[in-house]
Structures are given as structure tokens and as C-alpha cells.
Structure 1
């Protein structure tokens, strides 16, 4: 498409000194502007992808993908119970459904935990030892103390719970439930102390600060669930494809049950993330557009300074198309080089985000990142090929488009008018 002499002329114009009528300063400004804009776009897209990945990963790694619940049964005394009596049978049937990795019965409850004169509200989940060890984020947490091998002798708690109560492995925590022992004078709170055998950190603040795991049989006794379970927790092969597995799981679970998925629990937050992603991409696209407009201003100045050269080239026989391609090469090359530099900087930022963030945190004196607000323990970044391609495509397309106008103006310049006063 481009002849060798066209590229030679374009290169000569780009590197010309100011004394020769060049605009090298404007070239560098355009180049740096595009590089920084592309860098900002890729860095933001990487952090955005990292946020969603970490958020979803902590959800599906420490929570059930699907929870099978009972619609409830009216008791002879008029009360309503939502427990599952045949929980092992339901779990076994669900485990045979398509895409299901595991289905385990659980007992759940909200209680008050107290130790060292401190109190904290916690969510207790009663599970068998093998089932707890199969939870990805519990079996392989970010940080852990103690061992799940001793799970049958005590409880496993989140690092936030341990920090709130001032306890560690080997200490005892008292759990207080208002729904305790029924007596002739009413229901008295149930208070029982358990040793801490395992402390885990999954990297999600709302889980680490509230989650407590208790042996299944002990939870049945503690929460007055003898012979029943509250729900069945299900893990599937592909958590993003919940809608494909749900009909089969519903059929396997039986008519008196319904499903509650991780997307139902976190759907509002995921939709907010998606909307924020779209808005950020639009805003940063405007930033890239502003940076590429520097190419237009630089080329307009170049065309004005090179009017005499254009007139001479036209009288030598060069066509309008040749002139257009020369100046298009000038602008497009700035866009290509600037985009390449921006891609390199953006990728390096995403790859080395941890040392970069640690340096920023150290310079700021610490406290830059608050997990209680952002729900995850560190600033994430995930470099996606699609994000890099979209940033490159946006930058190059805008660079090429804004180059066309000054290039066409140069091509349509009348050589007679250009040389009249020479």
C-alpha cells in the first residue's frame, strides 16, 4: 500500500528539526499523550478484570454455588419448619445431576461469639470434616494457622473473627445462641465453649470476619437440628453456567425444594460492577480520543510548514494520493508507536502491580487499602487478551481517523498557491 519513497519522506518530516520547519516537539507530545492514554486504559481494564475475578473467585471458592432449600412444612402445633429431614438422600440425588461436583448437607445459624472480653456476631456452618476440606478457599486459603485434621475436636474460624476476639489456635471461644434449651420457664440461651483448631483467610472481608465452621453432628445438637439439616450446598463444574445446571438439580432435589444460587445472592453487586466497567471504558475512551487529537494539531502545523515542499512535490509529478499517504504515514506512525509503548507500560503495570502497590502504600505511610470497604484483601489486576486487543483497536482506529483530515488537506493543496510567493 505504501511505497518506499513515501515512507522515506514521512520519516524525514517526522524527524526534522525546528530550524528545518519540523515539528518534532509536537510529535513527541502526541506520542507521549497516546502512550499515557493507552497505558491508563489497559491498567484500568486490568484492575477492573482483577476485581471481578477476585470477587467471583472468593464467592465460588468459599461459598456454595447453589443452595438447595426446603419450602417448609407446617408442624402440628402450627409452626413452620424449613429443614430437610432426608438430607442425605437429597444430597445423593443432587450429586448425580449433570455438572455437579459435590452436594453436602449443612446446618447454619447466627450466634454471638465471645472471648477475651470481646464479642462478635458470626455465621456458623455445620459441615462434615471431609466436606470442609473440599472447599477450595478453605483448603487452600491465603493464610492459615492450625490444621483441619483436628476439625472434629473444635471449630475453624475466619481470620477476621480471630482478630476481633483476640484469639488464635488453641484458645477457646464461647458461642451463645438465643435459641437454646426449652424449659418450663421458656427458652434459655445455649452457651458452649469450643477450642479453635484452624484459622483461615480467604481474602474476602465479609467472609473472614463472620465465618465459623463446626462439625456437622455438633451443629445439629447445638442448633436443635437433631436428625435434620437446614440446606444442601452444591458445587458445580462451571459456576458461570448455573442456569444450565439449575433445571436438572431442581428435578433431582424434589418438588418441595427450591434453589438459591451465588448469582442470586450477589447479582446486584455484579450488575453494579458491569455498569461501572462500561462507564469507565467510555470515559477512558474519551481520554484516548483527546490524546489522538494532538496528532491532528501536529499534522495541521506540519502541513502548513511544508506547504512549499508539497508544491514542489506536486510539480515533480506526485499525485494527490501520494501526498495523502505521506502525511497519513506521519500521523499513523505516531499512533502506532505511542500505542505500542502504552501497551508495554500497561502490561508491565498489571504484571508487577503488587510491588507497585506496596511502594505506593509505603510512600503514603500505609492504610491505602481498606479491606472492610473493598471486601478483598489486596488490589487485584488480571491481564486479559481481550482487554489489550480492545485498547489497541480503539487507539489505532482513532489515530488513523484523526489523521485523515490533515492528510486530505495536504493532498488537496494547490501547488500554484503553495509556490506563488516563493
Structure 2
């Protein structure tokens, strides 16, 4: 919107409070604050929702892959051939054999449910989620036949375990006797403690070499599943489709959507709902801008009439009042963007502060899955939020600007 010199001067004067116009200025200021809070809330919430989904997906895929070839009955005897076929499939970048079995763990009378995961040593040391998140001990201690395992940090807290502590793993698959099957108890030593940041993993995982897991579960040379990583997680079904007939009768393929369908679907729905609910804050602020402009037009009716008699066109009046309204909205939007990024930067400190003052646990990892509040800002979304805020402000300035341009100077100045 291009304004000439006198139009800019008048718009600038109308943006500042004049005599007897403090109430109009107050309403405009409240409108600007409303836009600021709406934009800040949208940027903050959408970034946190994006971060939550991305962080959860990255860590879930980092430990479970994009898909798994699950053997019928929990056993894949011919897993080496399946690994070769998977690695030869276009789009599959990794195929990792795994053993995974829910069991019980015990230490000093404390008992907890655990998830034993057996992996080849190169996969244990090569997984960045495990390798880069060791909080105690070392993966160098974990070797086949050493009797040492790596456990999650939350599980260590539950059992009261530390590096070097003996942990007993109890398996229901034991020796068969005339009185039934006796549970099998095998002792291990905690060689490392890790914290990947996903509560369910940190609270249950016990990672050990593949050979030790096969011995514990009496699987012989079998594994439970083969984990697959692909070039595109969103197209994983199309990528692994050629592998389906090759494993028919031995196993089935489940991708990350099937394994976590309820969680990721809930996140998607919540993300959309939160966006539209928080957008109402911007809409309400835009209505306030509309009302403040209408009051400004009524207060400046005589000035408008004088300007019209001096040669100001209807277009000039429209441009002046639209500039006033859009400026208020733009200033509120820019302040909201700044506030949003400040809130994102200090998000965890704010959560911790509120928890300290209220005495309530607002971010319980057992409920939120992740141990810290994540955030990932999408520049396209930020631009869309800015465009929506300024665009709605622009639309709401049209009526008062048209009303100002429609002022009849003859009627206004008849009795002056």
C-alpha cells in the first residue's frame, strides 16, 4: 500500500492518541496485545507439537526402525536369508536382526517388568541413540559371554541399580518338571546405563549381545525379528512391499504407523484442533481492531470532511485508515513472533519454574513419553501464521476504511 507524504503524516497522527482519544488508543493497544499473544501462542504450541512428534518419531524409529519383520511364534530361524533379501530391496538402508522379549528383572528384592533386547555388538555400538546417551558405565563392558548388560536410566532408578550391580533376569521359559515349567533365573551385571529420553524405553530396556539373549531365551540360532530402516518413512509400505512374498509363511511386516497408530493419530488430531482453537485469539484481536477503527472514524468525522473539501480523495481515506489498522496488526504480529521464540528458547525453564511454584509435576515422563519438552519450528508454519494474522487484520480494516471514504463533507459541515 503506497501512501504519499500527507497520507503518511495523517496515518501517523491517527496512530497516536489525540485529545479525548485515550479510550480509542487503549482499545487499539489491547488489540495489538491480543494479536501478539495469539501469534506467540500459535508459534509456541505448533512448534512444541511438531517437536513432540518429530522427537518421538526419531527416537522410536532409532530403536525400532521404520518397519519390522516379525516372525510367527516370535521366532525367525532363517533370519540370515531374510536380512539378505531385505538389504537387497531398493529403498531399504538397514536390516538389523533383533531378539526382543518381555521378562522380569530383580535386584535386592525389587522386581520390575523389563524388555530384553538382544543385538549384535556392531548394532549396539553403532546405534547413536544408545551410544551417545550413556550416563554411566561404558558400552565397552558389554561383550558376548561377559554377563554384562546395558539398562535404561528409569529402570535403574526403579531397581536401585548402578554400574556393577548384579541384576537377575527371570524368564518363564525354563526347565520342564513333573510339576510344570520352572522359571529360569539368570544373573547379569550392569555394565552401562543409558537414557534415550523416551520413558517407555528408559523404564524397561535391558540390552545385551545377541548370543547372550539367544542363550537366555533358549532360541538356538533364531532371532525374534528383523528391524528395517528405509529411505523414506512416509513411503515405507511401498518400499517393503516387494519383500512380503519372499517371507510369506515365515513372518509378517509391521511398519511404524501400525505399531504406533493410536499415538501418532492422536498427535495429528490434537495439532489441528489446537491450531484452530488458538487462531480464535487472533480473530478476537482482529475484531478489536475493527471496533477501534470504527470508533476512530466516528471521532475523526469532522477531520475527514475537512480533508475531503481540501481535495483528499476517497482512495486516500481508504489508504489512511487501512494503514492504521494494518500497522496495529503488523506490530502485534512482529511482537508475537519475538515473544513466541523467547518462550520456545526458555520453554523448559518455564515448565520447571511453574512446577516449582505450583508443586505439581506438569511434565510427567510416564505420561508425556519424553523426559523434556521438545520443540521444532517449521518456517513455513511461522510464515503461514504471520500471513493469517496480518491478512485477517487487513480484511477487518476494509469496512471502517470504506465508511471513512463514504463520509459526505456537505452533511458533516452543514452546521459548522
- TM-score, normalised with respect to structure 2: 0.94
The match for 1:240 is: 234
**Alignment gaps of 5+ in structure 2:** none
Q: Are the counterparts in 2 of residues 203 and 377 from structure 1 also a CA contact under 8 Å?
A: yes
CA distance in 2, matches of 1:242, 1:18: 67
The match for 1:88 is: 80
Q: 2:224 aligns with which of 230, 235, 241?
A: 230
* Residues 1:22 and 1:285: Cα distance change in structure 2 (over 3 Å): closer
CA distance in 1, matches of 2:17, 2:181: 90
Residue by residue over 1:44-102, the C-alpha shift from the partner in whole angstroms, topping out at 9 and shown as x without a partner, is 111111111121122112223211123x4xxxxxxxx4521121221122122223232
CA distance in 1, matches of 2:238, 2:8: 55
| Stretch moving more, 247-256 or 43-52 | 247-256
The match for 1:108 is: 100
CA distance in 1, matches of 2:130, 2:22: 67
Q: Are the counterparts in 2 of residues 91 and 104 from structure 1 also a CA contact under 8 Å?
A: yes
The match for 1:146 is: 137
Shift in Å, 1:26: 2.5
For 2:2, what is the secondary structure of its paired residue? Answer: coil
- Pair 1:358-2:349 in alignment: no
Q: Aligned pairs, how many? A: 412
Q: 2:336 aligns with which of 336, 342, 345?
A: 342
- Pair 1:201-2:212 in alignment: no
Q: 1:170 aligns with which of 164, 171, 174?
A: 164
Shift in Å, 1:231: 1.3
The match for 2:295 is: 301
Shift in Å, 1:21: 8.2
The match for 1:43 is: 44
For 2:172, what is the secondary structure of its paired residue? Answer: strand
- Pair 1:128-2:128 in alignment: no
- The residue correspondences of 1:227-376 to structure 2 (distance < 5 A) are 227-250=221-244, 253=247, 256-365=250-359, 367-376=361-370
**Alignment gaps of 5+ in structure 1:** 73-80
CA distance in 1, matches of 2:305, 2:190: 86
For 2:363, what is the secondary structure of its paired residue? Answer: coil
Q: Are the counterparts in 1 of residues 302 and 413 from structure 2 also a CA contact under 8 Å?
A: yes
For 1:29, what is the secondary structure of its paired residue? Answer: helix
For 1:376, what is the secondary structure of its paired residue? Answer: coil
CA distance in 2, matches of 1:150, 1:20: 76
Q: Are the counterparts in 1 of residues 149 and 207 from structure 2 also a CA contact under 8 Å?
A: yes
- TM-score, normalised with respect to structure 1: 0.92
| Stretch moving more, 87-96 or 301-310 | 87-96
Shift in Å, 1:213: 1.1
Shift in Å, 1:266: 0.6
The match for 1:190 is: 184
Shift in Å, 1:162: 0.8
CA distance in 1, matches of 2:43, 2:19: 34
| Stretch moving more, 345-354 or 242-251 | 242-251
| Stretch moving more, 180-189 or 126-135 | 180-189
For 1:287, what is the secondary structure of its paired residue? Answer: helix
Q: Are the counterparts in 2 of residues 205 and 376 from structure 1 also a CA contact under 8 Å?
A: yes
Compute the RMSD of aligned alpha carbons.
1.9
CA distance in 2, matches of 1:63, 1:173: 25
CA distance in 2, matches of 1:329, 1:271: 43
CA distance in 2, matches of 1:17, 1:384: 41
Shift in Å, 1:252: 5.6
Residue by residue over 1:212-259, the C-alpha shift from the partner in whole angstroms, topping out at 9 and shown as x without a partner, is 112211211211211212211222333333133222443565663321
The match for 2:382 is: 388
